[in-house]
Amino acid sequence: MNGFAAGPVRVSVPATSANLGPGFDALGLALGLRDRLEAEVTDGGLEVRVEGIGRDDVPRDASHLVVRSMRAAFDRLDARPAGLRLTCHNVIPHARGLGSSSAAIVAGVWLARELVAGGRLLLDDDALLDLAAQIEGHPDNVAPALLGGFTIAGRDDVDGTFFAVPGSVDPRIGAVVFVPPDGVSTEAARGLLPDLVPHADAAANAGRAALLVAALAGRPDQLLRATADRLHQSYRRAAMPASLDLVEELRSQGTPAIISGAGPTVLAFTAAADGDGAERLGTHCPDAWTVLELPIDTRGAAGW
């Protein structure tokens, strides 16, 4: 059984936006909004403190997602801490399609690895990604949360492991997010998707997803065309009609807008150099929603 590192360890993990329109369950982007967490091994018991988002409603016991993720990583590392103390400083909105659960999972496995002596030798970044994606069920959010930037992720057909390949993002590209006051669970949003889709729609999305990789890398003029989707967004209208209305309004005026992840947040790509995306697009923001201009985060999970 492996020993533990002395003292607390700390990690910050970015918010993420998955799918990005046509890249369902494959494409993801890290955004400059970060949860910060601290953990240490104790002599016994479990203590969970939560500040910020979720402080009034997330569990403080072993069912807390960060704790469950830490224990999954401890099991993988053959480590059994007597007790844990965890403190979470949350700013990523929950159930809004900005990767709060993926941030929690990545934080948990990252913290556990750092707490185990020699943990990075025993569980490298590829293995950490695979574990995080197994916990989440898909890799599109955990990949950018761990690695930062833009990622293309999937599951290997041969051995079943999850993988992610970093992509490039042109520094001219930024993002504005429109966050509604009420959330939609990922399970509810996924439940609205059909089992079968027309072949023409699947083919169109494959082409748009490929174009999106190129558009993000250096052809921002192609982002409106590249973010078109036929596979998932329209099917979710019943759960987030105001979000789809906003996407259509923005796109009709030439702004590349998409549902962020499972929604209901709307993300619009902007010219980062302008620095006034939130002000310029904020006139479209529905009442009681929050509009934020966020940089593309290139660090991923990192100590603080």
Domain boundaries, the chain: 9-167, 173-294
Span 9-167: which CATH code?
3.30.230.10
Residue 76 marked as a ligand binder: no
Rounded to the nearest integer, the mean pLDDT of the chain is 95
Residue 99 marked as a ligand binder: yes
Residue 95 marked as a ligand binder: yes
The superfamily in CATH containing domain 173-294 is GHMP kinase, C-terminal domain (3.30.70.890)
The model carries a pTM of 0.95
Residue 98 marked as a ligand binder: yes
Torsion of CA 62, 60, 138, 262, to 10 degrees: 150
Contact, 107 vs 35, CB < 8 A? yes
* Token pair belonging to 237: 């209208």
Residue 101 marked as a ligand binder: yes
Other C-beta atoms within 10 Å of 55: how many?
A: 13
Q: pLDDT digit string (tens) for 241-271?
A: 999 999 999 999 999 999 999 999 999 999 8
pLDDT band at 274, cuts 50/70/90? low
Segment 150-156 shows an average pLDDT of: 98
CA geometry: angle at 105 spanning 102 and 108, to 5°? 150
Alpha carbons within 13 A on the beta-carbon side of 181:
4
Residue 103 marked as a ligand binder: yes
Alpha carbons within 13 A on the beta-carbon side of 56:
0
pLDDT band at 187, cuts 50/70/90? confident
Residue 97 marked as a ligand binder: yes
pLDDT band at 279, cuts 50/70/90? confident
Q: Return d(Cα 98, Cα 144) in angstroms, integer.
A: 11
Residue 93 marked as a ligand binder: yes
Q: Return d(Cα 178, Cα 294) in angstroms, integer.
A: 11
Which phi and psi (to 5°) does residue 160 adopt?
80, 5
Residue 3 marked as a ligand binder: no
Q: Return d(Cα 84, Cα 63) in angstroms, integer.
A: 13
pLDDT given at position 33: 97
Segment 118-138 shows an average pLDDT of: 96
pLDDT given at position 111: 98
Q: Is the pLDDT of residue 287 over 70?
A: yes
